[in-house]
Structure 1
Amino acid sequence: MTITQIVIAIINQAHRGLVRERVRVINNKLDSLKVNKASLESELKSTIPADSPLKSEISSHIARVRENTFVKTKCRQVRKLQNLAEKNKVPVNRSLTTASEPDLTGTQLKKWVINLSKFKLTEPQTKVLAKGLNYAVSPTDVCTDEFVLATELACKNLAHSEAVQLRSKVASTLRSSKPPKSNVSNQERKAINVLKKEDSIVILPADKGKATVVLDKQEYNEKVDSMLSDTKTYEELTSDPTQKYKRKLVAILSRFSDEGKISMSKYKQLYPTAENVPRLYCTPKIHKPNAPLRPIVDYTSTIGCESSKWLADILAPMVGNSSHHVLNSKALAEELVEVVIEEGDILNSHDVVSLFTCTPISRVLDIVKERLQKESWLKEYNKSSGFNLATEDVVELLEFILSTTYFTFRGKIYRQRFGAAMGSPVSPLAANIFMEHLECTTIATAPLECKPKL
């Protein structure tokens, strides 16, 4: 087995893992929809008398809508499958270095690389940045240590004879392996080293699109400092609160475990072993004048990362059930095909400035508590997972995660005083839950002449 084959095997393994995760998310969504359907049917039966002619009309209407939705979804999935099948007709042994290469010629460079700094980029530097910040540059040597470490971790789960055989095969393969063919030129590799050492600039992904943006570090720091100087939203802390927050989180999780509300394996998964302070970075909004920054907090390897992911799984069924929900722009386009635009109609768009930091956490907690008590999502989740969580338990943990909004920037530690932090897995759900509630309440109570047509 060559080093290229090993890399392909690792990529395929990661691909299978992503597919499994996608299937898990879809199954959770289906379970929540089934629960919601049963709840609505029960509510319909209790509201409309069995002998009412209105009941049959409503049932027929629901059946028609369900069938239309099914047909549209089926056609969309068939098209996706056909597109994938067409793509897979491309020979599998094509060069890994030429697949999905962006067009880096002529004016396309201006699209992929936005230089807003005083630093003059050379052509090789521009080309290597245009490949994107996720572009994997091929190594110049075989990463023997990484393969040995991965092999030893795998051997822990094997019998002694199988482990010896695996070590022998890996060692034999590594001895005969050569580094993969370089996917960048020598000039581009030198350009990477120069950009790494250049201290006057910062290289960031654009807030929208896939462009790479180069900013002067001084200007970037000044913009972030100006944003953090807003004392209504942020405050500087005099000490690192990580240990204090960790003790509080451990106390909550320990109580859940001691009272039999979660399993020991779940407790170990959620227990905060990593203690990194969340890190703030910003992405430039190049589609707006003066390229303002969007703050994002990196929660990777922090005390609340796993708990935040868990809460996101629990609360996911709460989002998207509104009759006003739009899946994506394609779904909107499909709906607009059926709309007749009359004189005086206006397509109106509202935007919330700094949505996450403007989301009222106390209101989110009230909405979540009310809906969990009213609906049967939590009951179904407990049944499927074998847990025994109460509404108060979910709200308590959610309040802790949403209020633990501290981060570090340039050696200083700050706390976000209001709203949810961008970067936490549960923050988008919290913002969406609040906005859907606000939208439904507003439309339901609006005068008839003010209600939207679609």
Structure 2
Amino acid sequence: MSMLIKGFKYIIPCQSRFSKTSTDNIVKQKYMSISRTIQRCLDDHGVVAQELDDKEAFLALNHLLHELQSTLLPCKFKIRSRHERNIVKSIRQILSTRSDVIMRRTEKSKVLFLGNALEFSNKALEYMIKTEAYQELIHDDCPLHDILNAVTSLLIYLLKHRTINQCQHKRMNPKRDTLELAHLYFIPKPHKPDCSLRPIVAANHAPTTMMSQYLNDLLAPIYL
């Protein structure tokens, strides 16, 4: 369990050496990732780079990646890497079988939080009861269709009465191909004494999102 204490600074060493992916594909993926990053930096500074693969620096980069990936690991380091990889795999397997343990990303430190699932659930339920702003869905009773109909009916009404024009109607109309119900989830705050939860509503693809975005773009400049 001491591995978990290492937090987000810990990375399993030499992960690619134990991958089933071929060396050529690994090098290609790394090369594309690094070269794209360099290209973005060049673009940010107004430097035009053409035929990057033919340039000496990028050829050297590709050669270096091949060399690093092909170099044999020292025996002790290889044993250590395999050992730590197996430990991480065993931790994942243990956590996958522990229904009483919940794993979440934390609010600020970007590390994983492991806690009591029942305690986490009780805190979430307590917040929902206190605010009376959320409702748990049971028996697959999803109100998504009703919310969508309410939004589209309102937009059609506004369009017919010329309160909005066709362009505005198009901008606020929900995107049906990516539609999903807004939902509530919680992020733990372990830096707080009672490890309280931060509520977050995921509504990027909710029926009201396009309307909300349009109104924000329209009204926000007034207060800026």
Which TM bucket (shorter chain)?
0.5 to 0.7
2:120 to 217, 220, 225: 220
Q: Percentage identity across aligned positions?
A: 22
Aligned counterparts of 1:290 and 1:210: Cα–Cα separation in 2: 19
Query: Which residue of the other structure, out of 263, 266, 271, is the alignment partner of 2:174?
Result: 271
- Which blocks of at least 5 consecutive residues in structure 1 are unaligned? 1-120, 144-180, 321-454
Matched, 1:200 2:100: yes
Residue pairs, 1:222-241, within 5 angstroms? 222-230=122-130, 232-234=132-134, 239-241=141-143
Q: Is the 8 A contact 1:207 1:283 kept in 2?
A: yes
Return closer, same or farther for 1:288/1:225 CA change in 2, 3 Å cut-off: same
Cα drift, residue 223 of structure 1 = 1.1
CA distance in 1: counterparts of 2:149 and 2:203, whole angstroms = 18
Tell me if structure 2 keeps the 8 A contact 1:201–1:215.
Answer: yes
| Alpha-carbon distance in structure 2 between the residues aligned to 1:216 and 1:246 | 37
CA contact (8 A) 2:172 2:214 kept: no
Question: What is the CA–CA distance in structure 1 between the aligned matches of 2:132 and 2:21, rounded to whole Å?
Answer: 51
Q: 2:192 aligns with which of 288, 295, 299?
A: 288
CA RMSD of aligned residues (A): 3.9
Size of the alignment, in residue pairs?
156
CA contact (8 A) 2:8 2:110 kept: no
Is 1:315 matched with 2:193? no
Matches of 1:208 and 1:253, distance apart in 2? 39
Gaps of 5+ in 2: 26-68, 70-80
- CA–CA separation in structure 2 for the residues paired with 1:312 and 1:192: 45
Note closer, same or farther for the CA distance 1:196–1:310 as it changes in structure 2 (3 Å cut): farther
Q: Which amino acid aligns with 2:92?
A: N
Question: Are residues 293 and 254 of structure 1, via their aligned partners in 2, closer, same or farther at CA, if it must alter by over 3 Å?
Answer: same
Shift of the alpha carbon at 1:313?
2.2
Pair 1:204–1:286, CA change in 2 (3 A)? same
Given the alignment, which residue of 250, 258, 263 partners 2:152?
A: 250
Q: CA deviation at 1:232?
A: 4.7
Output aligned runs, 1:24-423, within 5 Å: 121-123=1-3, 125-127=4-6, 130-131=8-9, 141=21, 186-187=85-86, 190-191=89-90, 193-194=92-93, 195-230=95-130, 232-234=132-134, 239-256=141-158, 259=162, 261-263=165-167, 267=170, 270-273=173-176, 274-320=178-224
Cα pair distance change 1:188/1:269, threshold 3 Å: farther
The offset of 1:319, in angstroms, is: 3.3
Conserved in 2, the CA contact under 8 Å of 1:213 and 1:284? yes
- Tell me how far apart the structure 1 counterparts of residues 171 and 216 of structure 2 sit (CA, whole Å): 18
Alpha-carbon contact 2:174-2:209 (below 8 Å) kept: no
Q: Return the offset for 1:217.
A: 0.8
SS at match of 1:215: strand
Displacement of 1:257 in angstroms is 5.1
Task: Write out per-residue CA displacement over residues 370-415 of structure 1, whole angstroms, 9 at most, x where no aligned residue.
Answer: xxxxxxxxxxxxxxxxxxxxxxxxxxxxxxxxxxxxxxxxxxxxxx
Q: What residue number does 2:35 align with?
A: none
Q: Contact between 1:257 and 1:267, CA under 8 Å: does it hold in 2?
A: no
The 8 Å contact of residues 207 and 284 in structure 1, kept in 2 or not, is answered as: yes
Residue 283 of structure 1, CA deviation: 1.5
Q: In 2, distance between residues paired with 1:203 and 1:304?
A: 30
Which residue number corresponds to residue 389 of structure 1?
A: none
- Runs of 4+, deviation exceeding 6 Å: none
Q: Distance in 2 between matches of 1:217 and 1:231?
A: 21
Deviation at 1:218, TM superposition (A): 1.2
CA deviation after TM superposition for structure 1 residue 193, in Å? 3.5
Letter of the 2:114 partner, please give it: V
Q: Could you say what secondary structure the match of 2:130 adopts? A: coil
